[in-house]
Amino acid sequence: MKIVVPKENEKNEKRIPLTPLVIKKLEALGAEVVLEGDLSSADLVIRLNKPSIEEINCLKKGAIHLSLLDPFHSANLIQAFCEKGVSALCLELIPRSTRAQKMDVLSSQASLAGYAAVILAADHLPKIFPMMTTPSGTLPPAKVFVIGAGVAGLQAIATARRLGAAVEAFDTRPAAAEQIRSLGARCLKINLGETSEMNGGYAGVLTDEQLRKQREGIKKACQEADVVITTAQVFGKKAPLIVTRDILEGMKPGSLVIDLAVESGGNVEGVELNREVSIGVTRVFGYSNMSGRVASDASTMLANNIFNFIEEFWDKNSKSFNLNLEDEIIKGCLLTHAGKIVHPLFDK
């Protein structure tokens, strides 16, 4: 089986989907791996970010394409895959099950994004994170407030605690409270009434009234914090607006906010993609691809996720990837096959 890895088309992308070590492991399975090779001869294309229409048009009928595809905003790409008869596997849609955990690209990258957000905050905050007692007096620890205790949020909590900050966090899912406390952070309690959790551990959509209560509940925590990190996202939908302008304008001089949901619309009012903006006395960071700030480790994790996915479905006899249409993992992430949209979320 010929695996082709095309050059990434995102100008500032520093991550890669396959590392040299993983390429050797794929070759040991019997695959032929070609970097930046001819797409028209590829049996399986592996890339990181979504392709262009032109790239899809180069693929042969029956080829398999594996990458991040941003499926809720890529109707034109999905249609192009159908027209070319390409089987498109979407890394974002790999089920969050125990068996698929080792293939979960979103979780591995979110974990690194949470870490990178805290390091960015520590670099830009005009004070140190840990408490420090000196002959000149005692410096109190920085206060960090994390909104959303999913993979990114939990890693942000853990990293901020390791740096010595006093950390508080909030999540709409009641089950997250124990995880927050287990990392040594204080869990902010807000009575939102009944909240839901989607498959895969994603928080459910809040009502307008619940969002209003949430904003009221977090206002004091934000305005007492030196750093606020927001991570709240709803699968397949625009990120909820949580930190409003009036909250930002009431924060302390020198405080900063890092919005890790900026690529899906943002949790912070006034955030701008890939920019730092000032709102009142608060600096708001809306940088995309935060895991790319630690590109070496991000690439290692990505490549391992992808290899684990391929190995799970590798046929040792034919030395090829077995697109098992009956397997729950394949069914969960297969967008198009044999000229049709086959995923239930998009087959409309």
Catalytic residue among 43, 79, 97, 202: 202
Say whether 246 is catalytic.
Answer: no
Q: How far is CA 149 from the centre of its chain?
A: 13
Q: Alpha-carbon Rg of the chain, whole angstroms?
A: 22
Catalytic residue among 70, 96, 162, 297: 96
Count the neighbouring beta carbons within 10 Å of the beta carbon of residue 195.
16
Catalytic residue among 79, 97, 101, 223: 101
Catalytic residue among 67, 74, 87, 107: 107
Say whether 109 is catalytic.
Answer: no
Say whether 202 is catalytic.
Answer: yes
- Among 120, 117, 143, which Cα is nearest to 130's? 143
Q: Outline where DSSP puts E strands in 101-221.
A: 132-134, 137-139, 143-147, 166-170, 186-187
Quick check: helix, strand or coil at residue 187? strand
Say whether 97 is catalytic.
Answer: no
CA distances from residue 302 to 150, 209, 260, 292, 308 in whole angstroms, order as listed: 19, 39, 19, 11, 10
Structure tokens at 246: 């009036």
CA distances from residue 127 to 97, 139, 158 in whole angstroms, order as listed: 41, 9, 19
Q: How far apart are the C-alpha atoms of 243 and 224, rounded to whole Å?
A: 14
Q: How far is CA 36 from the centre of its chain?
A: 26
Cα dihedral across residues 304, 306, 312, 313: positive or negative:
negative
Strands 132-134 and 137-139: antiparallel
- Give me the helix-helix angle, 20-29 and 295-312, nearest 10°: 10
Catalytic residue among 104, 171, 226, 259: 104
Say whether 115 is catalytic.
Answer: no
- Among 213, 220, 237, 231, which Cα is nearest to 268's? 231
Active-site annotation, residues: 96, 101, 104, 107, 202
